[in-house]
Amino acid sequence: MATIREKGYSHWDGKLGERRFPWWPITRTGIQLAFRKKRFKFVFAGSFVPAVVFLVGLYISERLEDFKSFLQGSDRLLNINPNYFKTYFTNDSLLFLIVLVLGFAAAGLIADDLKHNSLQLYFSRPLRKKDYLLGKMSVIFFFVLILTAVPGLLLLLFKLIFAGSFKFFLDYPWLPLSILCYSALLTVFFAFYVLFLSSLSKNTRYVTILVFMIYIFSDILFGILEGIFHKPGVALFSIKANLQQAGAFIFGQKLPFAVPAVWSFLILAGICVLSAAVLNRKIRSVEVIK
């Protein structure tokens, strides 16, 4: 190790300012740290596959004559309407990829801070609890929005470009709003869901497993209960089914399960409220000095 005081201490002549968004350095650093993980880069790149597939679908839909032999009658799937967008947002693979990306990128957001005692460093700065949590949540916002709102709006844009007219937009002027609303819902839900689990353990691996297990097992539980009771209401036990219900409602499409969508919204909101309560309890600045 180098000897102490290789250089003398000098005072800093700048002025400390009050940040408009004190949480921003936390968000930026959280995103940067996620991309330093090699495996994550592959997962992240792979998570755009559904968007690319749907983009190809858009392109083909505008040139059905060219691809007639290739499609062999399955062109009905390429009927571009709000249901096409709903299908992109609520398909199993996209939702699973979001969980996968967050499992890698966000599971350690709070767990690592708890493990390495860094909360005390954060809260000894002019930072409030809400700044800290908003900074961490914004990391999740970034990853979820980049997989939902960004491709969703781009798909819409490409539809207009491929069609060469604004007719589609004029037919469904509310579609951009639906895309933004559902992206926001997914973002807020996953932010609370992942941060809540991240605050439960100091071990990032456990948190990653929890993020997957709860998502997958809630769906398995739904499958088992449906097999036993044959009632559509058991869909409410599944996180995925609730998200799909909410998606169908927001895009104005037929609900996949015969349960009022409001119940799904209530369950998702309940998970968020529970998560917020746990986070509020677990993240306490007063414990900075032990």
Partner 1 sequence: MSIEVKDLSFRYGKIVALDGVTMKLGEGAVGLLGPNGAGKSTLLRILLGFLVPERGEGKVLGYDIRRDQAMIRQAVGYMPESDCFVAGMDAVTFTSYFGELSGMPRQEAMKRAHEVLFYVGLGEARYRLLDTYSAGMKQRLKLAQALVHDPKILFLDEPTSNLDPNGRTEILELIRDISTNKSIQVLLSSHILADIESLCASVVILNKGRLAAEGRMEDLRAIHYHLYELRIKGDGGPFRRDLESLGCRVDETEDRLIKVYMPEASDRMDIFRAASRTGVQMRYFVKSQTSLEDLFAGVVGVD
User: Is there binding between residue 203 and partner 1 (CB under 8 A)?
Assistant: no
Count Cβ atoms below 10 Å from residue 139 Cβ, excluding itself. Answer: 25
User: Is there binding between residue 12 and partner 1 (CB under 8 A)?
Assistant: yes
User: Is there binding between residue 116 and partner 1 (CB under 8 A)?
Assistant: yes
User: Is there binding between residue 289 and partner 1 (CB under 8 A)?
Assistant: yes
User: Is there binding between residue 11 and partner 1 (CB under 8 A)?
Assistant: yes
Q: Using the minimum distance from each CB to partner 1, give the nearer residue, 204 or 264.
A: 204
User: Is there binding between residue 280 and partner 1 (CB under 8 A)?
Assistant: no
Residues in the chain: 290
Distance CA 290, CA 34 (A): 29
User: Is there binding between residue 115 and partner 1 (CB under 8 A)?
Assistant: yes
Q: Using the minimum distance from each CB to partner 1, give the nearer residue, 120 or 165.
A: 120
**φ and ψ at 253, to 5 degrees?**
-110, 170
Distance CA 102, CA 89 (A): 17
Distance CA 245, CA 247 (A): 5
> Which residues within the stretch 85-114 sit at the binding site for partner 1 (CB under 8 A)?
108, 112-113
> Which residues within the stretch 174-193 sit at the binding site for partner 1 (CB under 8 A)?
none
User: Is there binding between residue 41 and partner 1 (CB under 8 A)?
Assistant: no
CA torsion 102→100→263→257, rounded to 10°? Answer: 160
Binding string, 119-148, against partner 1, x = CB under 8 A? -xxxxxxxxx--------------------
The interface region with partner 1, picked from 8-16, 86-94, 95-103, 209-217 by CB under 8 A, is: 8-16
Q: Using the minimum distance from each CB to partner 1, give the nearer residue, 85 or 104.
A: 104
Compute the least distance from the CB of residue 115 to partner 1, in Å: 7
Q: Using the minimum distance from each CB to partner 1, give the nearer residue, 29 or 280.
A: 29
Long-range CB contact pairs, 247-252, < 8 A, 24+: 247/86, 247/89, 247/90, 247/182, 248/86, 248/90, 250/178, 250/181, 250/182, 250/185, 251/82, 251/83, 251/85, 251/86, 251/89, 251/175, 251/178, 251/182, 252/82, 252/174, 252/178
Distance CA 248, CA 237 (A): 17
The interface region with partner 1, picked from 9-17, 154-162, 229-237, 240-248 by CB under 8 A, is: 9-17
Q: Using the minimum distance from each CB to partner 1, give the nearer residue, 181 or 202.
A: 202
Among 93, 117, 165, 280, contact with partner 1 (rule: CB under 8 A):
117
Q: Please report, as ranges, the residues that interact with partner 1 according to CB under 8 A.
A: 1-12, 14, 16-19, 22, 25-26, 29, 33, 36-37, 108, 112-113, 115-118, 120-128, 285-286, 288-290
